Structure 1
Amino acid sequence: MNCNTTQLPYVATGYFSKIVTDYLQQSPSIRPFYQHEPTLQGVQEAIRQRQQLPQHREALVTALKQQYAGLATHEAVNRNINLLANSNTFTITTAHQPAIFTGHLYFVYKTLHAVRLAQQLKQELPQYDFVPVFWIGSEDADLDELGNIWLSGDKLVWNTQQTGAVGRMNTKGLEPILHRIEGELSVLPHGKELVALLKDCYTNSPDIQTATFKLLNALFGEYGLVVLLPDNAELKRIMLPVFEDDLFHQTASGIVEQTIKGLSEQYKVQANPRAINLFYLEGGIRERIEKQGDEWVVVGQDIRFTAETLKKELHDHPERFSPNVILRGIYQETLLPNIAFIGGGGETAYWLELKDLLHHYKVSFPVLVIRNSFLLIEEKWEEKIQKMNFSIADFFQTEQQLLTQLVTRQSNGHLKLEQELQAAEELYKRLREKAGHVDETLVPHIEALEVKTLKPLQELEKKMLRAEKKKYEQEQIQINAIKTALFPTGGLQERVENFMPYYAQYGKDFIRCILNASLALEQEFVIIHQQ
């Protein structure tokens, strides 16, 4: 698979929020909400800060070795796990929930971005070691989001009645989706290899988090990616002081609310804290904990605690307490010797709410890196775009904008009334000047006449364009076909499509292609030209 690339500024795509584009452009309005800039200098500052704070390397390495026990592990992974015991080793972390079969393409993109950044930083700062880490958010309970994939334009949904944390769910009921994948993709060059891998991961695993862990290890282990399952009693034990503070004093909510107050003056807030930011996680439930009078209750369940029994439950069973989005970042940054977090726009937005909270708990704030985004474009679509005299960048516009551009270009200016409108504006300018010399009170009358004249001319221009567009039915069909292929369901390809058809066609060459095309800290949108 040959992959040539071109790049676009994120702001030029029109698909990213103001908070993301302002962050990328280092806008002064957003600067108070993060610690280090996403630059090499920012990374060096993050390393210095991390070196001054407590480390939990022994517990981390022990947990990882237990997690990988019995699994065929690439030497690069074993080496990186051992490196984590050293004080000069730091992590580059990305995170995602255990979406079935990885969910969308960006799951792969963010993973390889972590690998690429770790490689680049080792070249730039050889005195340190950098380990790419994938943090599986296996305690997420949003099955509606995680329990489906798109394949060939069809949404395939996992039909299960299980509840609670998706990572803890067993894999039963995925057979129909596996059967559809096998029927459609096994005919491709690497399809049987892919299906065998998926069956091994999903039918030979007790739960979704284990299946996801095994799949990540199989796809990215050769690049040294270390996968961490934080749903672990001993690792959560490290968080007992923070969890206890949240349950009994609700400190986090007050701090984050103050940050949100400042952030929301200019931006849409991504996540709002609750008084208590922990869920109770047991069996098939993951429900919020609320304080009601002198008791703590699990919402929707007949589970209640006094202060004494809650403290005992927390210390005896820390695995039963699950941090929400507000506390998850503290857990990650407490446990890992982390210096950079790679996330999408939504993830970055909620991290911008957390700086003061992490500072309160004396936890380092990582460099925030917007994950890489790609548009994969087949040669046939690129040829069609070129034949229509467009660039690929043009296709980030709407269909109507593209058609207008095409029709206007081919009409040689006959559809534009620029000269006529300009002449009318000049006429009324002279009339205003003449009338003003006679009587200033006549000027508003002239201005009203100007509006009455110009508005019909502008409407005429629009009608002429609409009439001309009707002559371009075939071009409209072609634009629609290209847009549908490159922007399925009207959004970015990476937020809909899955990696499997590409892997079935190209095998591990697809992974290598994405890794080679991945940027480190350059922060631009990448178009991959498939050949």
Structure 2
Amino acid sequence: MKNIASHHTTTELRHFYRLAPGDLEGALQSPPSNVDRERLVAALRRYHQSLGTLSETLESQLQKLAHPNSRVVVAGQQAGLLLGPAFTVHKAVDAILLARQLDREDQPVLPIFWVASQDHDSQEVASTFLLDFQENLVHLGLPLPQGVPVYRIPLKEEWVNHVVGALQNMDAPFKDQAVDLVQQSARGNYADWFSGMAQRLLGEHGLIAFDPMFPDLAALFSPAIERELQKPLASPHRIEDAAAELIALGFEPQLRRQAGATNLFLEGNDGHRRLLRYDGSHFHADRLYTLRELQDLLKHDPSRITPAAGLRPIVQDTVLPTIVNVLGPGELAYATQLGKVYDLHGVSQPLLWKRLSVTYIEPPVQRMLEKYGITAQDFQKDPEGITERLLLQESGIQQNFREKLGELELLFEQLAETSLELDPNLAGSVHRSRQRVVGHVQRLERKLARHMMQTENAREGQFARLHRHLLPAGIPQERALSYFTYLAKYGDFPLKQLLSLTAGAQSRLNL
């Protein structure tokens, strides 16, 4: 089936979106949002006071957000260790770039970063990778408890010390700057730690971190959650309808909803977060619940009932005056199914914007890419094939094999001519013999290439360096390495480079 994210701009998917891909002017002309800006700004101010990040710049941004015609560009991500993979920072920067581009005096546009602290899959946020100038690839991880929202995980001093120790062990000239960011932000819970780092890194460039689990902010979502509880299967049915339509068009839907599954999670008395199910009369999670019980729970602690992926953007946009959502490929795919869910809640679907994507090219890597005439993208797409080809080419074996194959081809041409003169029926036998011999030679060449690649990897050669930089642990760079890798090695330079890009660029940055 076809991939939705790669076909986002095609006309066959156009009717799934309120706005055409890339229609920033249309986003600016979105209908005015009736969100309670005064209450929103007050809650955000208290949130950043708790983080210790209420700077003059942020206060100025909050005052702009209070403007009755303000709009926001939203990016978001899970609260990953050391800001998670580098693409987390790229998303946030993209929101900043778009907000700058769209901002007007009579209609301020602010960048918001949604911290997905409701997420309970802590394995996804408990580890990251760092790479220093000695080519040491460090997998850094923490023993986070499973099944509970990361907002509920108190930050432990030993975790902070472990991370600080890993940064201090890096061969990186700006590691003290990275350590300061970690230590200054070390307060509250695990999500607060993430938010503090994000805000301190990007707040002076206009970013506003937003945590939906912070009590004053969580209370803003109660009306949307209440609507969902009243008709708990309406939005899942609309998601399934969109899935069926996508399948009919030949696309693989990202979201599916099984019978009885709602778009809500409930945090039980044991602290674990579970999907709510509905049988027509009762809700099911850790036990049976009536509608009245859930309504009472929502009233007294709204942070315990939270949206699933199929509802989160809609709930977000009932509280924020969103005109653009900055999304990664997976998020873009599931957002395609949510147009009718927006309609259900009476909210205008914002523009869906494919996030900024960046690959960092450090000087040794740049020299290697230039030497062999390849791009980082080429290598990431087919690392084994390119490595094998270049090893054979560099050793001279490839040229030797090409010459010998040429000689064999000439020999078989001569044999074919002779055979045809003697007996035309022998042509097929000659052709089959040629295929077998050439195939054996080509297989031998591939075996030699694999052997050379094993030897190359064993001695940690130059192609292993390309792997470590561009595909660390076999994962594309921006999805594996923490941005702290580049902060510790190059200081403020990478961020300045990021902020000079065009919003939504698919780019490479030479460091």
**TM-score, L = length of structure 2:** 0.84
Unaligned segments of structure 1, at least 5 residues = 1-16, 432-441
In structure 1, the residue matched to 2:363 is 379
Q: Specify the SS of the correspondent of 2:347.
A: coil
Letter in 2 for 1:98: A
Which whole-Å CA distance do the structure 2 matches of 1:178 and 1:252 have between them? Answer: 41
Superposition pairs for residues 418-497 of structure 1, below 5 Å? 454=435, 457-464=438-445, 466-467=447-448, 477-497=461-481
Letter in 2 for 1:285: H
Letter in 2 for 1:88: N
In structure 1, the residue matched to 2:422 is none
Using the TM superposition, give the Cα deviation of residue 344 of structure 1 relative to its aligned residue in structure 2, in angstroms.
Answer: 1.2
Q: Specify the SS of the correspondent of 2:509.
A: strand
In structure 1, the residue matched to 2:485 is 501
* Aligned residues of 2:121 and 2:146 also touching (Cα < 8 A): no
Does 2:77 correspond to 1:96? yes
Using the TM superposition, give the Cα deviation of residue 401 of structure 1 relative to its aligned residue in structure 2, in angstroms.
Answer: 3.2
Does 2:257 correspond to 1:276? no
* Aligned residues of 1:394 and 1:402 also touching (Cα < 8 A): no
In structure 2, the residue matched to 1:247 is 229
In structure 2, the residue matched to 1:208 is 190
Q: Specify the SS of the correspondent of 2:11.
A: coil
Q: 1:75 to 1:135 in 2, by over 3 A?
A: same
Which whole-Å CA distance do the structure 1 matches of 2:262 and 2:362 have between them? Answer: 49
In structure 1, the residue matched to 2:24 is 43
Using the TM superposition, give the Cα deviation of residue 126 of structure 1 relative to its aligned residue in structure 2, in angstroms.
Answer: 6.3
Deviates more, 1:251-260 or 1:142-151: 142-151
In structure 2, the residue matched to 1:174 is 159
Q: Specify the SS of the correspondent of 1:348.
A: helix
Unaligned segments of structure 2, at least 5 residues = 131-135, 420-424
* Aligned residues of 1:94 and 1:114 also touching (Cα < 8 A): yes
Using the TM superposition, give the Cα deviation of residue 31 of structure 1 relative to its aligned residue in structure 2, in angstroms.
Answer: 2.5
Letter in 1 for 2:207: L
Q: Give aligned pairs, total.
A: 487
Q: Deviations over 1:319-345 (max 9, x none)?
A: 221111111011111111111111211
Q: Specify the SS of the correspondent of 1:528.
A: strand
Q: Specify the SS of the correspondent of 1:247.
A: helix
Q: Deviations over 1:232-290 (max 9, x none)?
A: 45545554454234334311110000101122343333232352121112562212222
Deviates more, 1:280-289 or 1:470-479: 470-479
Q: Specify the SS of the correspondent of 1:399.
A: helix
Q: Specify the SS of the correspondent of 1:230.
A: coil
In structure 2, the residue matched to 1:287 is 274
Q: 1:295 to 1:474 in 2, by over 3 A?
A: closer
Q: 1:323 to 1:421 in 2, by over 3 A?
A: farther
Which whole-Å CA distance do the structure 2 matches of 1:309 and 1:394 have between them? Answer: 56
Letter in 1 for 2:274: E
In structure 2, the residue matched to 1:62 is 42
Q: Specify the SS of the correspondent of 1:159.
A: coil
In structure 2, the residue matched to 1:259 is 242
In structure 2, the residue matched to 1:9 is none
Which whole-Å CA distance do the structure 1 matches of 2:161 and 2:372 have between them? Answer: 42
Identity %: 23
Which whole-Å CA distance do the structure 2 matches of 1:81 and 1:309 have between them? Answer: 36
Q: 1:422 to 1:307 in 2, by over 3 A?
A: farther
Q: 1:290 to 1:471 in 2, by over 3 A?
A: closer
Using the TM superposition, give the Cα deviation of residue 361 of structure 1 relative to its aligned residue in structure 2, in angstroms.
Answer: 2.0
Equivalent position to 2:108, from 108, 129, 134: 129
**TM-score, L = length of structure 1:** 0.81
Does 2:284 correspond to 1:297? yes
Which whole-Å CA distance do the structure 1 matches of 2:140 and 2:451 have between them? Answer: 37
Using the TM superposition, give the Cα deviation of residue 210 of structure 1 relative to its aligned residue in structure 2, in angstroms.
Answer: 2.0
Q: Specify the SS of the correspondent of 2:274.
A: strand
In structure 1, the residue matched to 2:68 is 87
Equivalent position to 1:114, from 95, 106, 116: 95
In structure 2, the residue matched to 1:225 is 207
Letter in 2 for 1:209: A
Using the TM superposition, give the Cα deviation of residue 54 of structure 1 relative to its aligned residue in structure 2, in angstroms.
Answer: 2.9
Using the TM superposition, give the Cα deviation of residue 497 of structure 1 relative to its aligned residue in structure 2, in angstroms.
Answer: 0.9
